[in-house]
Each structure stands twice: as structure tokens, then as C-alpha cells.
């Protein structure tokens, strides 16, 4: 791989991580990239660095264009270590005239690196710097997804360097979304959104409104992970949809089972959903990774959770998924709970508590079955599926949301 010119005198100089498979709890089956960008102008400006393990790859790319010591400015759009891990060494190597960061970026830099002599300069939303022919305008994007996060916009090139926003955990030899099979990058962007940004959806809505109000003319979005968008309308529209929690006519049934009783219940609930025209996904927490489950949750109108009672609680796999899910704050969901038990039977109440914490509209009562479900109990499960499905249908009709996506599947 080499440095790639993405706009005249603007280059991708990042690194490709083909082998990462876990990004603090997010399964990155396809690896990722750490994207850095370099502008060659009267002032040479670098935007973010890379994870420290990848410094040689980044330096190789920079050296294809310039001697790193020629770098005048470094813009720190985000201090998380996958983008700033190499920052201290980079500053030592190139001795930049200035290092720009947001006000919260300054605090993050201080608490991560404890620098004593870095030429830090704080920039706020609306501030800009001239590089010569090109300008960099800054836009703070607090909590997208850290307090320090910031965008850099190059008006002369209609280029938005967007930090983590609009990214995907996707390693590829291609640099652009439109070079991949149609829709592929958007699927990875959806997983990224669900796992990293969903909890900040209100901020995403505010940001999209702000960008529209500012009238930014954008024809390229270059994120810090994955491929670059040359058709930004596509991902902007998707972010608008995802951040409004617009769901499909679909339910996800997430469960774990000890001796297949709760599993049988899950399957009968799915049949009930099917009988009223609601698409159902049955996901065992044993075999599906939490970060894949959350993608299904994000696009579902209903979340139905099941666990047998284990040690007066729920299965650890379900505790894992539900803790992760609750943190990511899915909203506007219908919920229900079910599970088998041997003697004490707390699981359905515990599961219902998680659903209430996520502000779900809970369909009561859930279904509890002692030991192994008989035909009557399985009918109860089918009926729960029907009740949830009818609530989904009523909600979809009320919201005027189409089931187009399911129809396309």
C-alpha cells in the first residue's frame, strides 16, 4: 500500500490493521484502518496519527510524500489512542510549529500524555486556519463520540475530515466506499453506528441540523476508520435515519438456554410474530456476538429477551448482552421477556427490569415456564409473539413507517 491522493494535494497516509478482531468489546471481523490525512500546502498539515503499533506504516506513507520533519501543523481531531497513540513520538520527530485541538481535546491530551512543551493551540467551532491555498475550519462535535471530538472542514475541496463519525471497522485495499460492492460500506457503517454512536443519537441529530444550518458544501467525507465517502448524501441520510431510531417491522428474540426449554419458547414466540406478519430474528446469546446482536436490535421495533433462571439470576451471556445493550441506549422499542425455571424463577422479572431501564414499552405478562414447556406453555409463547407482533404493527402504523426494508430482504 502507499499514500493516496484523495483531493489535490490532500493525501491518505494512514495504516491498515487487517488482524484486529476486538475493539473494546466490538467484534471487528473485518479489521479496521486508522486513517490520517496530510495536506501539502505552504504549511504542511497532518490530521491525526495512528495506533502506536502502526507508526512505521504511517511514516512510510508520509515519507513517500515529504520528510516528516517538514510537517508544520498537526490537527488532533480526537485523542483516543487509536488516533493519538503515535502523537507523542510524531511531535518529537517533526517538531511542529503548532498542534491544534479542541478545548476538551486539550484536557484529554493533558490527561493522556502529560506534555510539558508541546505547542498546543486550542481552536473552537467556527475558528479556522490558513495553510496557504487551503483553509481548515473547525467544528467541535462533543460526544461524537468523546468530549474532545472535532471535525475539520476544507472548504476549497468540499472535504469533511470527520474523525470517528461516518467510519467503519473495515480493512480494505480500497480507499473509497464506491469501490466496494454496492451497499457493503453502509452495512459496516451501520454496525459501527450501532456499537459506537447509537447512545449519542440526540447529538447526531443536533450535528446534522448544525451542518445543514451552516450550509457546508460537502462532496467527500473522510472518516478516521474504513473507507471514504465520495457520495456523502448516502451516509448522511443513513445517520439521520439511524439517529431517529427508525425501525423495521421486525422483532429480535435474544435468549440463552440450559436444556433447550427457553430455546423452544423462543421458537414459538417467533412463530407467533410470523403469524401477524412481523419479521423475527432468533438470536442465541451463546453463538451471536453482542456487537452483532446490537445491529439487529437497532433496526428492530421489538426486543424480546429470554433466559432460564440461574442462581436466582439470569444466564451470564444474557447479562453481557443486556448490559452492553443498555449502555448503547436503543430507544422506541417494544419489549417482552420469557424464560424457564426450576424452583425460584426470578429471570423474567430481571429481564423485564432491563427492558424498563431501556424505556421499552413492555408487553406484560411475560411467560415463565417450570422446567420443560408442554403444549399449553408453547401456545402461551406463541400468543406472546402475537401480542408483541400486534403491538409492533400498531406502532408501525402509528408512526407511518414502511416495512420496505423487510420486503426487500
Q: Any idea which residues carry the catalytic annotation?
A: 24, 78, 80, 82, 145, 164, 192, 225
How far apart CA 264 and CA 266 sit, in angstroms, is 5
Residue closer to ligand FEO by CB (options 81, 276) is: 81
Q: Tell which one of 43, 83, 301, 368 touches ligand FEO (CB under 6 A).
A: 83
Mutual angle of helices 232-243 and 184-192, in 10-degree steps? 40
Q: Which stretch binds ligand FEO (CB under 6 A): 78-86, 273-281, 334-342, 362-370?
A: 78-86
How far apart CA 128 and CA 36 sit, in angstroms, is 19
Q: Say how many residues touch ligand FEO, by CB under 6 A.
A: 9
Write the binding mask 3 to 32 for ligand FEO: x where contact by CB under 6 A, - elsewhere: ------------------------------
**Least distance from ligand FEO to the Cβ atom of residue 193, Å:** 13
Cβ pair 391, 333 in contact under 8 A: no
- Measure the CA dihedral 231/234/235/241, to 10°: 160
CB atoms within 10 A of CB 13: 27
Q: Give the residue carrying C-alpha cell 402509528.
A: 398
How far apart CA 34 and CA 15 sit, in angstroms, is 5
Q: Is 301 in the site for ligand FEO (CB under 6 A)?
A: no
Write the binding mask 330 to 369 for ligand FEO: x where contact by CB under 6 A, - elsewhere: ----------------------------------------
Q: Tell which one of 48, 80, 263, 296 touches ligand FEO (CB under 6 A).
A: 80
Strand locations in 35-127 (E): 37-39, 45-47, 73-75, 98-101, 120-122
Q: Which stretch binds ligand FEO (CB under 6 A): 75-83, 208-216, 239-247, 282-290?
A: 75-83
Q: Is 296 in the site for ligand FEO (CB under 6 A)?
A: no
Burial class (CB in 10 A: 0-12, 13-18, 19+), 205: middle
Q: Which residue in 176, 254, 255 sits closest to 221, CA to CA?
A: 176
Q: How many CA atoms lie within 13 A of 353 on its CB side?
A: 10
**Least distance from ligand FEO to the Cβ atom of residue 81, Å:** 8
Q: What are phi and psi of 173, to 5 degrees?
A: -75, -25
Residue closer to ligand FEO by CB (options 17, 296) is: 17
- Measure the CA dihedral 315/321/322/324, to 10°: 140
Q: Which stretch binds ligand FEO (CB under 6 A): 77-85, 229-237, 253-261, 264-272?
A: 77-85
Cβ pair 195, 24 in contact under 8 A: no
Q: Which stretch binds ligand FEO (CB under 6 A): 76-84, 109-117, 260-268, 354-362?
A: 76-84
- Which residues 220-249 are close enough to bind ligand FEO by CB under 6 A? 224-225
Q: Is 164 in the site for ligand FEO (CB under 6 A)?
A: yes
Q: Tell which one of 82, 148, 256, 296 touches ligand FEO (CB under 6 A).
A: 82
Cβ pair 275, 385 in contact under 8 A: yes
Residue closer to ligand FEO by CB (options 33, 137) is: 33
Q: Which residues bind ligand FEO (CB under 6 A)?
A: 78, 80, 82-83, 145-146, 164, 224-225
Amino acid at each position: 500500500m502507499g499514500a493516496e491522493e484523495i483531493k489535490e494535494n490532500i493525501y491518505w497516509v494512514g495504516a491498515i490493521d487487517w488482524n484486529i478482531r476486538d475493539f473494546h468489546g466490538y467484534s471487528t471481523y473485518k479489521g479496521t484502518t486508522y486513517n490520517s490525512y496530510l495536506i501539502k500546502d505552504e504549511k504542511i498539515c497532518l490530521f491525526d496519527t495512528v495506533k502506536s503499533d502502526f507508526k512505521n506504516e504511517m511514516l512510510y506513507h508520509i515519507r513517500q510524500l515529504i520528510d516528516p520533519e517538514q510537517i508544520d501543523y498537526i490537527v488532533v481531531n480526537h485523542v483516543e489512542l487509536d488516533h493519538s497513540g503515535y502523537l507523542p513520538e510524531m511531535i518529537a520527530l517533526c517538531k511542529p510549529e503548532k498542534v491544534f485541538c479542541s478545548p476538551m481535546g486539550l484536557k484529554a491530551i493533558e490527561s493522556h500524555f502529560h506534555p510539558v512543551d508541546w505547542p498546543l493551540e486550542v481552536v473552537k467551532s467556527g475558528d479556522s486556519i490558513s495553510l496557504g491555498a487551503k483553509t481548515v475550519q473547525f467544528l467541535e462535535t462533543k460526544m461524537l463520540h468523546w468530549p474532545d471530538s472535532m471535525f475539520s472542514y476544507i472548504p476549497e475541496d468540499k472535504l469533511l475530515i470527520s474523525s470517528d463519525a461516518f467510519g467503519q471497522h473495515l480493512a480494505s485495499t480500497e480507499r473509497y466506499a464506491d469501490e466496494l460492492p454496492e451497499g457493503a460500506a453502509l452495512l459496516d457503517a451501520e454496525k459501527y453506528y450501532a456499537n459506537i454512536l447509537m447512545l449519542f443519537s440526540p447529538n447526531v441529530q443536533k450535528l446534522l441540523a448544525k451542518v445543514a444550518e451552516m450550509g457546508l458544501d460537502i462532496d467527500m467525507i473522510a472518516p478516521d476508520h474504513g473507507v471514504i465517502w465520495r457520495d456523502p448524501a448516502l451516509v448522511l441520510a443513513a445517520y439521520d435515519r439511524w439517529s431517529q431510531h427508525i425501525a423495521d417491522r421486525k422483532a429480535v428474540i435474544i435468549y440463552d438456554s440450559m436444556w433447550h426449554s427457553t430455546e423452544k419458547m423462543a421458537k414459538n414466540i417467533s412463530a407467533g410474530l410470523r403469524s401477524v406478519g412481523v419479521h423475527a430474528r432468533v438470536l442465541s446469546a451463546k453463538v451471536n456476538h453482542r456487537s452483532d446482536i446490537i445491529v439487529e436490535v437497532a433496526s428492530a421495533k421489538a426486543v424480546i429477551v429470554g433466559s432460564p433462571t440461574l442462581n436466582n439470576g439470569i444466564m451470564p451471556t444474557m447479562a453481557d448482552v443486556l448490559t452492553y445493550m443498555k449502555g448503547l441506549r436503543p430507544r422506541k422499542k417494544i419489549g417482552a421477556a420469557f424464560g424457564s425455571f426450576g424452583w425460584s424463577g426470578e429471570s423474567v422479572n430481571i429481564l423485564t427490569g432491563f427492558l424498563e431501564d431501556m424505556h421499552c414499552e413492555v408487553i406484560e405478562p411475560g411467560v415463565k415456564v417450570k422446567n420443560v414447556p408442554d403444549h399449553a406453555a408453547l401456545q402461551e409463547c406463541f400468543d406472546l409473539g402475537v401480542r408483541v407482533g400486534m403491538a409492533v404493527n400498531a406502532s408501525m402504523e402509528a408512526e407511518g413507517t414502511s416495512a420496505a426494508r423487510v420486503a426487500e430482504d
